[in-house]
Structure formats: C-alpha cells, structure tokens
Amino acid sequence: MTEIPEADLLQRVAAARAAARAGDPFVNPVLAVALSLGRQLDEGALTLPEVVAALRGLGAAAFRRRAARLAAAVGGTDPASADSALAAVAAHVAAAAQAGAPSTSFDAFREACDRPRAAAVFTAHPTFSLSPEASATLASAACGGAIHATPSLRPVPPTLEDEFNRAVEAIIAGRDALDRLAAALLAEGRAAWPERWTTLDPRPVLLASWVGYDTDGRTDVGWQDTLRLRLRMKELQLSRVAAQLGALPGSCTWALRARVAEALGAVRAQVAACPGPGAVDPLAAQAFARALVGRRDVAMTDPEPLLEMFPDALAGAPDDQVRLALCAVRAGLVAHGLALAHTQVRLNATQLHNAARLRFASLDGSPPSAPARRRALFAAMDEALSRATAEPVDTGALLSEPSSAARLMMTCAQIVKHVDSSQPVRFLIAETESGFTLLAALLLAKLSGVEGHVEISPLFETAEALEQRGALVVEEALRSPHWRAYLRRVGRMALQFGYSDSGRYVGQVQASHLIERLKLRVAELLARYEMTGLEIVLFDTHGEGLGRGGHPDGLAARLAYLNPPAVRSAFAKRGIHVRRESAFQGGDGYLTFGTPALAHAAIARIAEDAFRDPNGGAASDPVYAEGGFASDLFAGARAAMNALVGDPGYAALLGAFGPALLDRTGSRPVVRQSDGSTGSTVRHPRDMRAIPNNAVLQQLGFLANVTHGLGAASSREPEVLAELMRGSPRFSNAMAFPRAALALSDPDVLRGYVMSLDPGTWLDIATRTHATGTTGPAAVARALEELGLGDPARAVFRRLLADDAALRDAWPDGAPEMPDHLFAAHALRLCLMHRVWLLAVAIPEFSPRHGVAREALVQRLLRLDIAPAADLLGEVFPAAAPAGADLDFGEPHAEHRATGYGREHAGIVAPLRLLANAIREASAVVSLECGAFG
C-alpha cells in the first residue's frame, strides 16, 4: 500500500497547480489530484481508510491554524496585556473628564463610565460547526493549551438546552472580564476622586442574549422554555453575586449574603416548577403560576432590595480593596439587573401583523405594503393605539393564546411582573418592511401592559429593506404620535441590521455600504423629528463568518467595520448618544469568549472601541471625499449580485449537492419549508437559509457572496481601487472581506465540482478506463445526464469565472490565492464524492422498496444524500439471513439456504457509510480553514 501523509499530499497538490499554471489551461489540478487518488484506489495501491487518515491529518493542521487565528483575532490572550489595555481605557476616560472644569470633572467621569456604550449579544442559530469538545479544545489551544489529540471535528446538532448552556459558559467568561473593566474604572476613579468614587457603577459594556427567547423560524421554543431559561439566567446572576460576596469578609456582607440566599431558594423553586419542553399540561402550568406568583416577593423582581444594602456593606468594609470589589459586584447588578445578561426576544413581522388583526377588525385587509390601503391602515392603527388599554395577563392566557406574537408579548409581561422589571426586554422583529409592523408591536405591548418595558426593534436585512424601505419604515413610525411618545418614554430607539440575507443577496461588502447609508439616514430622521434626545441602539447581527460580517482581521477591525467614521460622526454632531451592539453567534461566536483569557481580551477590544473618538476619521478619509468610485463600485457589484441570484444555474449549483455537504449545526433546517432533508430541491437561493447558503459556497471553494460583482466594477479603474485600498481606512477595512474571500476561493476548485457534474467528464474518464473493463464512469455519465445539472452549472460557472478573473487582475499587488492545504481538502473530498457515485451506479437492480426505486436511489446518491440511502440499501440487501433461517423445519432443505447479501453489504453499503462520514469530515476541515460556518 502507498500511504499519503499530509506532506506527500501537499506536494502532489503543489505540483498539479504549478503544472496547470505553466501548461495546458484545460487541465484542472484539483480534479487531476482527485482522479489520481481514485486510480490508486481502483488499483489497490490505496485504501479508503488511508484516504480518511490523510484527511484527518489535514484536519489536525487546520485545527492548530484556527486556534492561532482565534488568539490573534482578540489581540492576543495574555491577561497582563488585557489588563494594561483596560487600565489605559480607564486612564483615557479619567483624563478626558479632568480636561474640563474641576467642579464637573467627577460628573463627567461618572457619565462616561456609567452610561452603557456597547454590548456583546450572544445569539444561537445553526452555527455550531464544532462539537462542544472540539470548541473547548480549540479555545484552550488559542490560549497556549496543548492539543494532545485532535477531537472529532464534526458537530452534533445542539438542543435548545445545549445552545443555552454553551451561551452561558461564554457569558460567564464575559461577565468576569466586565468585572475587570469595572475594577479598572473604579481604580482610576479612586485615584482621582478619593471621596466620591464608591458611588460609581461603571457599566460601559453590557452583555445580552436571545438564546431561548428567539422564536423566528423555530418551533422548539415554547413560552415555558423562554420563562424557564429566563429564570435560570436570574438564578445564575444571583449565584454569581452569592459567590462574589462569599469571597469577601462576612463582617460587611452577611446581610447581603442572607438576602441573596433567600432569593436563590425561591428562584430555584420557580425553575423546578416550570413545565418542560413540548405540550404543556394545564395542571403543570397552574402549579408553575402559583410558584411564580407566590414566591415573587422573596425572589425579588428588582435588584433594589440588594442595592439598598450596599451602603452599609461599604461602610463596614475593612479597606479599599474590599470596597472596590463590592462596587464591582454592585455595578454588575445595576448593569444587568436580575439576569446574567440582558434579554432579547425575537419573532417575524408577519406574526405581528396577524396578531394585531386578531385584536382589531379594522386592521384586517391588505398587507401594510399595499399602496392602496396604506393610509387607511395607518389611520386605523393610530385609532387602535388610542383605544388600547392594558389587559390582565396570566399563565392561563399563555396556554390559550393562539397567536405566537401575542403570546411572546405576554411572556414579556410575565418576565416584567414576576422575574425582573429593572431592565427592558428587547423585542426584535425580523423582516420588517413597514412602519406598520412597529406600531403593531406597540399595540400588543400596550394590550399586555409592557409598553414601558420593551424596546421594539426592527431588523433591516433584506436587499429591499436596505436599499429602499429601511429609512421609510423608521419615518412611517415616527409620523405616529403614539410611536414618538413611546420612544420618549423608553428613552431610546433600537435598530437591528443584518448581514446574512443582505450579504447573500447584494453581496457582503455592498451590504455594509447600504447599512452605513441607512444609519446616516436614521440620524437625519431623528433630527428632523426632534428626537435627538433619545439614545440610539445600533445592533449589528452579523455573526462570525465572512458571509455574515465577522471580520477576517479580528475583533478590533470588525468593530471599526460595523461603526464606520461617517456614522459615528453623524450621530455625534447631533448630540445623539449611541450604544453599539454586536452579535457573537453560535459556536463560532462563543469561541471569542471561550476561556477567561479570550473573554478578557475581547472585552478589552470592545472597551477600546466604545471610547473611541466619535469624530475621528470621517473628514480625512478619502473614501468620503472621493466617494464616486466607491459608490459606483458597490452599485455595480449589487447589480451583478442581483443578476447572479436570479440565474437558475446559481440555484442549481447551490442545490446540486451543497446542502448534503453540511452537517446539521443548529435547530433550523438547511432548506426552508422542508423537513430538513438534504434531498430537498433548491430552485432559488431564497429556498435556503442564509447561513447554509453561505456555508455551501465555502464548501464549493468559491465565496461568491463576498466577491461577485466587484471584478467588473474594479477593472474599470484599477488604479483608483489601489489608491483607496492604500489610503482609505474605511475602504481597506471593507475590502478585507474580498481579500480574505479570494484566499478561500479558487476557480479551479469550483471548476472541479462543476466538471464532476458534467456527464462529458465521466465519458472522458470512461474512454481512458475502458481497457480495464470498468463500466462505472459511463454509468455515472448516464445518471448525471438524467440529473440535468451539468449545463446550468457550467453556464453559471462561466459568469462567476469572468468576474473572478477581472477582480484578480485588478487587485493591487496581486490577489491572494487559496493555500495548498485547503486545496488538498477539496481534492480529497472530490475523490470521495466520485467513489460515492461509482458505488451508486454499481447498485444491483431491485424491485421498489419503501416507495423508492433503484433510479431514485442513485439520484439521491448523486446529490450526496448518502446516509439515508445507505440505510435503505441495508434494508434492501440485508447482510445476514432472516431470523430463523437456520432452524430445522422437519424436512430436507437445499444445501445453500439464503444467507443474506453479505457481498453487497461489504462492497456497497459499508463503504457508503464510511464515505458519508469522511465527506462530512472534509466539510468540517473546510469550515475550520474558513474560520466559521457560513
């Protein structure tokens, strides 16, 4: 046997790529390597286990590289360096406060450090691309821990409980880091104002979570799940406070400890009484309601009873170190209330419209976007808001309410009444396309009696919302006196901006340009409607991957990308306070807070950005002074991306076998409106969810959602492109995305996948293997002809290739290329895919079983829907004889009784199962190299 260690495989890849560059342009290096491995398998010079071993070697190396990049992304993981950064932030804040009048310097310092300026929001969704063990090992390795053995890279689909527990681990590490930030600010305050510093509650950075509270596109989150997990966040906060107080002298903390212990006991009883997942038994709901109401006062619904005890504790503290620690505990309570992190619930706009119409018949009729009915609908909504009064909400209402939106608002009411009223609940609304949606949410809030306790926040993510409707949505709502009164009551307006759908439909960099423009328009609208006294929350739900806005150059670059200088300046010159929130999504995002050292460094980067000069950079950045080229570049790229999304060949390419390359990484199915089967047909990119859409492109080795369209526009003025990339921080920061995407993309890799779908490729292979008597390639060609994906895939490949070539030609100083180790992972997987197809056409004829004929099974295998097909084949061709076949039935029997289909099982079914696992393992390696799932 000829083993293929990683070094040998990389040498093969390098040689094949060099030969392709220097010689025949029709030779595809990734296909050449895949086919050469296939020939060795055919000849017995290699075995499948040896190929899998080579793949695991690539995975181990990718794992180490990913750990190094994670450490670099947060600016290093040395705790002393992070502490120095936090001390520098605190010193900067104190110096700025002392630069003013001495009589107001302390108040200036208090305002600077006690006002929340930033938040890290922990979100879930299908981005758990590594197992918990692999994630923990990776985070540890980023901090210098040894990797004794690379854990299994393939993810296990998380349950809601898994998502919650992994989010909690990250949040706890983040809270520990926030305590260090608070301590740095308190120490600076103590040095400058020794008589007053103990009145400070530093909280410039907050943490929030929607894990367990997000019902958009999910059916596994019931009202009882949200309440149970919110109560657990309360329990975790009280446990945290108890542990912090337990580390301090009992002489000054005994009263606080006793009250916290009493509250903890009550909350734990409430958690225990809460019904479990699934259908809720009315008697269980009744028992829970009694625990919720009956233990409410002991459990507290506000941290005020605890906060009132801190002055006595501080007075009894033996020294300043204990006083500082007490102040840090109090700051955490003031910042987050009775929860480990702030609460954000989420649902879809359509759910709100339906709920509002159930309540008020006058709101029934056309959708709010219909021009003919828009004025009448808004007038009817204003009338409904005028007449709406709060209605009682109890647990029984949650049981009986048919509308998911009304039920979610009622859940918020129960949180406010029985869990914690000290902090508002963010009410996020996906796919907001009209101001009517915001007013509908306000109506439900009024009916539930919580309009002063929820922050209604639209999500702008679709191409239409960013290009046309986003500003109109805000303006339509601001026209309503009810909405303006509501905003003044809560004191802030919260807006959410998404990069997933926008990135895949208009392109990632183009989406950033549109989002920046929309934020500037919002600043103008607030000034026009005289609402500049509000705080504005700008929440960017961008996740971690290239296709979702997680920056390839690390956390500091990401924060600068999300908050460009023009936006900072626009709000600052109008005197509008801004809180910037940033999503850390799923397993990939939680890695940023995966250890205390990582979280410490991450909070340092966030704090540095939070106190950055809001007026710096906008005036001097040439992209704003000479904005014509950038605007034309992004407009041209948007048009090209729109055309690509509408190309039927693009959907064919995405859906050919791409979804089957992905392990289930979360609660949502890959394909919309399906049962989650990878065999579901993708007729348009909208049929897939955004994150799997992006992940498929990563797996195909061509990140079109980041780069496509930029080539044609850049090639018109490449010298201007180079000038802006050198001289404009904003432009170069944005163009880091296509730079990184080019390094993860290779037209030869995509060509290899496209050529594999082409029957002509397999006919060529057949002519070269005819002498060996192999009929498999010709049979694969016939099966692919029936599948019919070759022609559309080739057509869209030409479109993609033309723009990619133009972008690489225009790229200053040469475009980056895919590294050999990632190229090798694709080549190995292509080889494995080819083995699946050859096995598929080798399946013997059989009569239809379970409603599936042989031809349909072959088609499923061509789409790499392997595991279910292998299971079905195992039933069609059982390995062993039926039970009882060896019994004595009282008369002579044939010498050769049925003994099962051992040969078919060993030759087809077992290899298919091995290949299914190996192909998905290759996908995990590609995800590691890309840095995130999707």
Write out 675-728 in H/E/C secondary structure: CCCCCCCCCCHHHECHHHHHHHHHHCCCCHHHHCCHHHHHHHCHHHHHHHHHHC
The answer to whether residue 771 scores a pLDDT higher than 70 is: no
Banded pLDDT at 545 (limits 50, 70, 90): confident
Instruction: Please list, in sequence order, all residues whose beta carbon lies within 8 angstroms of the beta carbon of residue 910, skipping any fewer than 6 positions away.
Output: none
The pLDDT score that the predictor gives to residue 898 is: 57
Average pLDDT score over residue span 813-835: 96
Give me the residue label for tokens 């300026």: 117
**Rounded to whole angstroms, what are the CA distances from 723 to 248, 551, 733?**
58, 22, 14
366 SS3 class: coil
- Assess contact for 472 and 493: CB atoms under 8 A: no
Candidates 702, 841, 818; CA nearest to 765 is: 841
Q: Match 């009929």 to its residue by tokens.
A: 775
Alpha helices in 565-645 (DSSP H): 565-573, 586-590, 596-610, 622-625, 627-645
Quickly count: other Cβ atoms within 10 Å of residue 101's Cβ.
9
Identify which has the larger pLDDT, 801 or 872.
801
3-state SS, residue 433: coil
Q: Does residue 503 register a pLDDT over 70?
A: yes
SS3 731: helix
Query: pLDDT confidence of 366, banded at 50, 70, 90?
Result: low
pLDDT, one tens digit per residue, over 32-63 is: 999 999 999 999 999 999 999 999 999 999 99
Q: Is 504 a residue whose pLDDT tops 90?
A: no
- Report the pLDDT value the prediction gives residue 677, as an integer from 0 to 100: 38
**What pLDDT is stored for residue 489 in this prediction?**
96
In angstroms, the CA 470 to CA 459 distance is 9
Q: Which two tokens stand for residue 94?
A: 């104190």
**What is the pLDDT confidence band of residue 675, given thresholds at 50, 70 and 90?**
very low
Summary count for the chain: helices (H), strands (E): 45, 8
| Alpha-carbon gap, residue 717 to 519, rounded angstroms | 28
Buried b (16+ CB within 10 A) or exposed e, 430-457: bbbbbbbbbbbbbbbbbbbbbbebbbbb
Mean confidence (pLDDT) of the chain: 91
Residues 876, 673: contact at Cβ < 8 Å?
no
Is the model more confident about 124 or about 269? Answer: 269
Question: ∠ CA 888-891-893 to the nearest 5 degrees?
Answer: 75
Strands (E), 22-83: none
**Does the pLDDT of residue 2 top 70, yes or no?**
no
Q: Quickly state the pLDDT bin for 421 (edges 50, 70, 90).
A: very high
CA 522 to chain centre: 25
Instruction: Return d(Cα 795, Cα 430) in angstroms, integer.
Output: 34
- The answer for residues whose C-beta is within 8 angstroms of residue 114's C-beta and 6 or more apart is 200, 201, 202, 203, 204
Is residue 895 pLDDT above 80, yes or no?
no
- What was the pLDDT predicted at 676? 37
Report d(CA 417, CA 302) in Å as an integer.
Answer: 10
* 3-state secondary structure (DSSP) of residue 498: strand
In which band, very low, low, confident or very high, does the pLDDT at 651 lie, cut at 50, 70 and 90? Answer: very high
Q: Which band of pLDDT confidence, cut at 50, 70 and 90, is reported for residue 668?
A: low
Name the residue with tokens 């020294």: 319
pLDDT at 3 over 80: no
Query: In whole angstroms, what is the distance from residue 440 CA to residue 772 CA?
Result: 71
On whether the CB atoms of residues 434 and 378 are closer than 8 A, the answer is no
- Arithmetic mean of pLDDT, 105-118: 97
Q: In the structure, what pLDDT confidence band is assigned to residue 674 with cuts at 50, 70 and 90?
A: very low
- Give Cβ neighbours of residue 300 (< 8 Å, ≥ 6 apart): 263, 306, 338
Q: Span 105-113, mean pLDDT? A: 97
Mean pLDDT of 720-742: 95
Structure tokens at 167: 């989010």
Q: Is the pLDDT of residue 245 over 90?
A: yes
Letter for the amino acid at 460? F
Could you tell me which of 451, 534, 528 has the C-alpha nearest to residue 492?
A: 534
Say which amino acid occupies 400. S
Bridge partners, 585 (sequence order): 123
Question: What are the C-alpha distances in Å from 427 to residues 348, 352, 438, 734?
Answer: 11, 11, 10, 30
SS3 label, residue 438: helix
Q: Which of 261, 214, 244, 249 lies closest to 330 in space, CA to CA? A: 244
CA gap 91, 185 in Å, rounded: 8
Instruction: Evaluate the CA torsion angle 623, 629, 635, 638 in order and state its sign.
Output: negative
User: What is the reported pLDDT for 906?
Assistant: 85
Percent of the chain beyond pLDDT 90?
A: 74
Residue pair 584/122 in contact (Cβ under 8 Å)? The answer is: yes
pTM for the full model?
0.94
Q: Is the pLDDT of residue 450 over 50?
A: yes
> How many other CB atoms sit within 10 Å of the CB of residue 642?
16
Q: Beta-strand (E) ranges in 792-846?
A: none
Torsion angles phi and psi, residue 494, rounded to 5: -110, 135
pLDDT of amino acid 673: 43
User: What distance in Å separates the CA atoms of residue 115 and residue 439, rounded to the nearest whole number?
Assistant: 28
Residue 465's nearest CA partner among 504, 433, 498 is: 433
Residue 1 — very low, low, confident or very high, per pLDDT cuts 50/70/90? very low
Amino acid letter for position 184: A
> What's the Cα-to-Cα distance from 75 to each of 194, 550, 731, rounded to whole Å?
33, 15, 22
CA distance 842 to 522: 62
- Helices 435-448 and 404-418 cross at an angle (nearest 10°) of 50
Amino acid at 445: A
221: DSSP letter: -
